[in-house]
Amino acid sequence: MLIQSAEESFRRGVNALGNGAHLEALAMFEAAIELERRLGAGGIQARYLSAYGLCLARHARRAREGVYFCREAVQKEPYNPDLHANLGWACLAAGRRREAHEALERGRRLQPEHEDILRAMAEMGRRRPPVLPFLARSHPLNVLLGKLFRSGAASASAAGDRGPAVRQAG
């Protein structure tokens, strides 16, 4: 059952996020979740949890908590590529690249041309092969040589906030 006041709060949060008002967006997503809880909905909508989690991870510097909410959303609607995209972005904010890649791959299998998923994957970049392929990637020699040969370019995420766009589709 759709609760109109919660939906309006969610829409306002999406608009605030689009305008760069991150704290306002966070408050609106939190309000949408609280309204769903208070007004007895059959459960909190996954997209509300996901948007809230994404905002926590990327803009409130509460990445662990943000990843938790995004995971909860994906568990509720594993068929929704938007939720996988948000989980991927939240995991990136938390420094969990492997988990981010896994979430983005699951979302890409659901919708191969998903804009946010492709953008997140491009931002992550691709791993180079280990310097010494006959040793494990985690071997101290590969780690040391990899650091020595790594380019000095700053990561794409440090270049600015070109992050995801929270979608309103439900």
136-158: average pLDDT:
70
CA end-to-end span of the chain: 12
166 contacts 14 by C-beta, under 8 angstroms: yes
Which tokens sit at 168? 């309103």
- Asked if residue 153 has pLDDT above 50, the reply is no
Indicate whether this model's pTM tops 0.95: no
Can you tell me the distance from the alpha carbon of 73 to that of 133, in angstroms, rounded to the nearest whole number?
38
> Could you read off the pLDDT of 5-51 as tens digits, one per residue?
999 999 999 999 889 899 999 999 999 999 999 987 678 999 999 99
- Comparing CA positions, the residue from 89, 101, 81 lying closest to residue 157 is 89
- Asked if residue 148 has pLDDT above 90, the reply is no
Q: CA dist 93 to 21, 59, 99, Å?
A: 18, 9, 11
